Amino acid sequence: MAARVGIALGSNLGDRIVNLRAARELIRNLSPEGTHFEQAPIYQSEPVNCPEDSPDFFNTVIEIDYIGTPAELLENTQGFELHLGRQPGSPPNAPRIIDIDILYYGEYVIDAGILVIPHPRMVDRRFVLQPLADIRPLLTLPGDTVTISEHLSHLDSGEAEPVLVQAMW
C-alpha cells in the first residue's frame, strides 16, 4: 500500500529551477504511474543558518504516493542528491546544488538517527511551511494537533517572507 509522502526540495547553486525540476522528476519516477502527485510553487528565501554570503535558496515541496519503506526512500533521495551534484562531506548548511528532505511519510513517526520523520525542524521553517501550506494547508502531522496553515500563521522564526518565483514549473 502506498504512503502519502511530503518532500522538500531546495537549491542555492547553479540553475536552481533546473536543479529542482531534475530532483522532482527523479522522485516522481519512484511513484507508480497515475498515482497522487502535488507540487507547490517555487519560492526564493534567504539562507537560514548558512555560511555568510550564501546565495538565496529556491525552495518547494512535492507530495507523492510511495510504495516502499522510509529507509528505502531515504536511500533513494540521498542517491539523487549525489547524482545531481551535491558534494558529499560538505560542511553543514553549505551552499548546495540540491537538498532533498523527507518531511512526512504517511502516519509514520520515526526517530532512527539519520532518519527522523516527521522532519524535526519543518514547522519552524517558513521556507518549508509556505510551499507546503499551498498544497496541504489542512495537513496535521502525526503526533501533532495543529494544521500546517496554523503553524505558518503562528510562526515567529524571524525569517523574511519567501518570494514567489514560479507557480507552475
Res. 1: pLDDT tops 80? no
Say what the pLDDT of residue 48 is: 84
65, containing H or E segment: strand 57-66
Q: Which three cell numbers stand for residue 21?
A: 525540476
pLDDT the model gives residue 27: 97
**Residue 38: predicted pLDDT:** 96
Q: What tens digit of pLDDT does each residue of 113-168 get?
A: 889 999 999 999 999 999 999 999 999 999 999 999 999 999 988 888 999 999 99
Annotation says 96 is catalytic: yes
Residue 15 annotated to the active site: no
Q: pLDDT at position 2, please? A: 85
pLDDT for the residue numbered 50: 83
**Segment 46-89, tens digit of pLDDT:** 988 888 889 999 999 999 999 999 999 999 999 999 999 988 87
Q: How many CB atoms lie within 10 A of CB 146?
A: 13
Out of 3.90.420.10, 3.30.70.560, 3.40.190.10, 3.30.420.40, select the CATH number for domain 3-166: 3.30.70.560
111 is catalytic: no
**Cα(5)–Cα(102) distance, integer angstroms:** 7
Determine the pLDDT at residue 93. Answer: 83
Q: Which member of 24, 86, 126, 136 is catalytic?
A: 86
Answer whether 0.85 is exceeded by the pTM: yes
From the candidates 28, 53, 56, 101, give the one annotated as an active-site residue: 101
Distance CA 155, CA 164 (A): 18
CA distance 48 to 98: 15
The residue ranges of every structural domain in the chain are: 3-166
Closest CA to 20 of 44, 36, 53: 44
Q: Which one from 16, 99, 125, 134 is the annotated catalytic residue?
A: 99
> What pLDDT is stored for residue 72 in this prediction?
96
Which residues have C-beta within 8 Å of that of residue 103, sequence separation ≥ 6?
Answer: 6, 7, 8, 61, 117, 118, 119, 122, 128, 132
101 is catalytic: yes
* Amino acid, res. 139: L
Q: How many CB atoms lie within 10 A of CB 100?
A: 25
Which of 18-51 are b and which e, b meaning 16 or more Cβ less than 10 Å from the residue's Cβ? ebbbbbbebbeebbeeeeeeebbbbbbbbbbebe
What is d(CA 50, CA 129) in angstroms, rounded to the nearest whole number?
A: 19
Higher model confidence: residue 137 or residue 34? 137
Q: Which of 96, 125, 126, 136 is catalytic?
A: 96
Q: What is the pLDDT of residues 79-105, one digit of tens each?
A: 999 999 988 877 778 899 999 999 999
Matching residue, cell 543558518: 49
